């Protein structure tokens, strides 16, 4: 069968019931409506990679994709003979090689119960915070209740190391470590996402800060609809336009959180009050849409300086003051009452 006729055949066989005539043995379909679409797509990609099917970010649900078949390699002509399709709601993916000599076909579901090696607190060697780290956070006016709700832990074999667990749909997808001396490193990452992502799953207005402790500080002030970027701030604003999504590696955490961010009407950028923090606010606004972004301007600390971030403001500032959000790059204003 020639490739130019493939789209006609795709419409025919991909719409047929998934019976033994196409797939043997017949596989059970698992339904996972509660998962965001982006999560289901990642699960599907994770499952087909060991089979030799390589998917990039252009393989979107609802479309047909002509790929190289890992079984027959496309024959002597190296044809893209594998028709691959993720259904529109991301519940499962199906494929078939259209070379008659091959005909390899299959399907996988987006049921995350089938995934192996998912990190959890035990496999990461985490335990509840001990008295020393609880006291460290108490000095920063962050309570044990807030720490517990956000699953802030410590390493069991190195008890002075704080572990910020990154979760999506209640499951750990990454972990970031910090010492009290401000040394940071990343642990095993399944998907790089915003810290506190589940806290904005139903939010239409959110706050984005530059660090995990700032997110916890705003929760203490009553703002639970807050997330933090995982990687800090860039040195300066890029002189180039943002790259395509698949190449925007420095901000991939935004695109991995896209299902959550697309529902948001107003985004308050409460980044640090320094040049890198201002650069981060600009880069975020360029990607999230300047028309829905508002920028915090932290209040004065004294006659010569301003507060740097949410935690410093919480520790040193009284709670009945306000933080006005505006700035030269953003026409919107917003007031954060602490």
Q: What is the pLDDT of residue 113?
A: 55
Could you say which of 89, 114, 139 is where a domain stops?
114
In the predicted structure, residue 186 carries a pLDDT above the cut 50: yes
In the predicted structure, residue 338 carries a pLDDT above the cut 50: no
In the predicted structure, residue 56 carries a pLDDT above the cut 50: yes
Q: Verify that 187 and 269 share a domain, yes or no.
A: no
- How much is the pTM? 0.64
Q: Verify that 257 and 126 share a domain, yes or no.
A: no
Give how many domains the chain has, as a whole number: 3
Sheet holding 105-109, edge to edge: 64-67, 82-86, 92-97, 105-109
Could you say which of 95, 114, 133 is where a domain stops?
114
In the predicted structure, residue 12 carries a pLDDT above the cut 50: no
Average pLDDT, integer, range 45-71: 84
Q: Verify that 88 and 124 share a domain, yes or no.
A: no
Tens-digit pLDDT profile for residues 198-247: 999 999 999 999 999 999 999 998 899 999 999 888 989 999 999 988 78
Q: Verify that 165 and 78 share a domain, yes or no.
A: no
Q: What is the pLDDT of residue 261?
A: 94
Q: What is the pLDDT of residue 24?
A: 35
Residue 204's CATH number: 3.40.1360.10
- In eight-state DSSP terms, residue 239 is S
Number of residues assigned to the chain:
338
Average pLDDT, integer, range 13-39: 47
Could you say which of 78, 99, 114 is where a domain stops?
114
Q: Verify that 210 and 337 share a domain, yes or no.
A: yes
Give residue 245's domain range.
Answer: 198-338
Q: What is the pLDDT of residue 246?
A: 78
- In eight-state DSSP terms, residue 260 is H
Averaged pLDDT score across all residues of the chain = 80
3-state secondary structure labels for all residues of 186-233 = ECCCCCCCCECHHHHCCCCEEEEECCHHHHHHHHHCCCCCEEECCCCC
Q: Verify that 184 and 213 share a domain, yes or no.
A: no
Q: Verify that 110 and 122 share a domain, yes or no.
A: no
Tens-digit pLDDT profile for residues 312-328: 887 776 433 444 454 33
Average pLDDT, integer, range 31-55: 77
Q: Verify that 123 and 79 share a domain, yes or no.
A: no
Q: Verify that 260 and 136 share a domain, yes or no.
A: no
- Separation CA 143–CA 220 (nearest Å): 8
75 near 99, Cβ under 8 Å?
Answer: yes
């Amino acid at each position: 069968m020639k490739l130019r006729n493939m789209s006609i055949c795709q419409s025919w066989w991909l719409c047929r019931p998934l019976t033994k005539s196409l797939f043997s043995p017949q596989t059970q379909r698992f339904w996972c409506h509660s998962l965001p679409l982006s999560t289901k797509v990642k699960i599907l990609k994770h499952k087909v990679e060991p089979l030799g099917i390589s998917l990039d970010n252009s393989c979107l649900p609802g479309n047909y994709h002509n790929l190289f078949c890992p079984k027959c390699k496309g024959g002597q002509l190296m044809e893209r003979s594998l028709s691959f399709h993720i259904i529109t709601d991301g519940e499962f993916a199906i494929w078939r090689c259209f070379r008659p000599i091959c005909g390899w076909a299959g399907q996988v579901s987006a049921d995350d119960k089938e995934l192996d090696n998912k990190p959890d607190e035990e496999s990461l060697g985490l335990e509840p915070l001990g008295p020393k780290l609880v006291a460290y956070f108490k000095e920063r006016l962050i309570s044990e209740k807030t720490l517990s709700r956000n699953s802030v832990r410590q390493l069991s074999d190195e008890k002075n190391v704080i572990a910020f667990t990154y979760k999506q749909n209640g499951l750990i997808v990454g972990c970031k470590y910090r010492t009290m001396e401000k040394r940071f490193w990343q642990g095993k990452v399944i998907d790089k996402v915003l810290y506190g992502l589940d806290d904005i799953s139903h939010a239409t207005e959110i706050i984005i800060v530059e660090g995990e402790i700032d997110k916890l500080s705003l929760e203490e002030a009553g703002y639970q609809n807050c997330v933090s970027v995982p990687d800090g701030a860039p040195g300066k604003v890029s002189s180039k336009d943002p790259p395509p999504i698949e190449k925007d590696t420095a901000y991939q955490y935004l695109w991995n959180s896209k299902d959550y961010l697309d529902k948001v009407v107003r985004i308050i950028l409460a980044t640090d009050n320094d040049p890198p923090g201002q650069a981060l606010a600009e880069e975020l606004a360029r990607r999230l849409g300047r028309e829905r972004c508002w920028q915090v301007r932290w209040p004065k600390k004294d006659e010569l300086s301003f507060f740097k971030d949410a935690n410093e403001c919480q520790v040193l500032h009284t709670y009945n003051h306000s933080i006005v959000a505006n700035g030269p790059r953003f026409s919107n204003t917003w007031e954060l009452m602490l």
